[in-house]
Chain A
Amino acid sequence: MTSMEKRLQKELQAMTKDPPAGVSVNTNSLSSSLSEWIVDIEGAPSTLYEGERFQLGFKFTSRYPFDSPQVMFIGPNIPVHPHVYSNGHICLSILTEDWSPALSVQSVCLSIVSMLSSCKEKKLPPDNAIYVRTCSKDPKKTRWWYHDNSV
Chain B
Amino acid sequence: MNTATGTSSPSNDDRQSPNDDDQNGTYECNICLETANDPVVSMCGHLFCWSCLHQWLETRPNRQTCPVCKAGISKDKVIPIYGRGNPNPQDPREKLPPRPAGQRSEPETSNPFQNFGFGGDGNFQFSFGIGAFPFGMFASTFNLNDGRPGPPLPNSPQQAEEQFLSKSAWGPADGIWHVAAFIVERHWTGGKSIFQ
Residues of A within 8 A of B100 (CB): 3, 62-63
Q: Assuming the A-B contacts A127-B168, A143-B183, A150-B176, are A102 and B30 also in contact, with contact meaning beta carbons closer than 8 angstroms in the complex?
A: yes
Cβ-neighbour of A125 out of B180, B185, B192 (below 8 A) = B180
B3 and A17 contacting across the interface, CB-CB below 8 Å: no
B26 an interface residue at 8 Å Cβ cutoff?
Answer: no
Could you tell me the distance in whole angstroms from the C-beta of A37 to the nearest C-beta in chain B?
A: 9
Bound complex: CA A136 to CA B185 (Å): 6
Docked complex Cα distance between A91 and B178 (Å): 12
Contacts of A146 in B (CB 8 A): 180
Write out, one digit per residue, whether chain B residues 82-125 have a CB within 8 A of any chain A CB (1) or not (0): 00000000000000000010110000000001000111000010
Q: Which of A131-149 contact B (CB under 8 A)?
A: 131, 133-138, 141-148
Taking a contact as CB atoms closer than 8 A, the residue among A62, A72, A136, A147 that contacts B186 in the complex is: A136
- Is the C-beta of B32 less than 8 angstroms from some C-beta in chain A? yes
Contact of A100 among B19, B68, B118 (CB under 8 A): B68
On chain B, the residues within 8 Å of A127 by CB distance are 135, 138-139, 166, 168, 180, 182
A1-50 interface with B by 8 A CB criterion: 3, 6-7, 9-13, 16-17, 27-32, 36
Number of residues from B at the complex interface, CB < 8 A: 66
Cα of A62 to Cα of B8 in the assembled complex, Å: 19
State in angstroms the CA–CA spacing of A125 and B83 once bound together: 53
Asked whether A13 lies within 8 Å of B15 as measured between CB atoms, the reply is yes
B184–A136 touching, CB < 8 Å? yes
Does A143 lie within 8 Å of B113, measured CB to CB? yes
A97 at the binding interface (Cβ < 8 Å): yes
Interface of B is mostly: loop
Closest chain-A Cβ to B65's Cβ sits at a distance in Å of 8
6 more contacts with CB within 8 A, not counting A102-B30, A126-B180, A127-B166, are A36-B194, A59-B195, A87-B196, A102-B67, A136-B186, A137-B193
Nearest 7 pairs between A and B by C-beta? A97-B119, A102-B67, A143-B183, A31-B3, A148-B178, A57-B195, A74-B195
A-B residue pairs in contact (CB < 8 Å), sample of 20: A13-B16, A31-B3, A31-B8, A32-B9, A36-B3, A66-B59, A101-B30, A102-B68, A120-B174, A127-B166, A127-B182, A129-B142, A130-B138, A130-B166, A131-B166, A134-B166, A138-B193, A141-B124, A141-B185, A148-B177
Partner-A contacts on B (CB < 8 A): 1-4, 6, 8-10, 12, 15-16, 19, 30-34, 46, 52, 55-56, 59, 65, 67-68, 70, 100, 102-103, 113, 117-119, 124, 126, 135, 138-139, 142-143, 146, 150, 153, 164, 166, 168, 170-171, 174, 176-187, 192-196
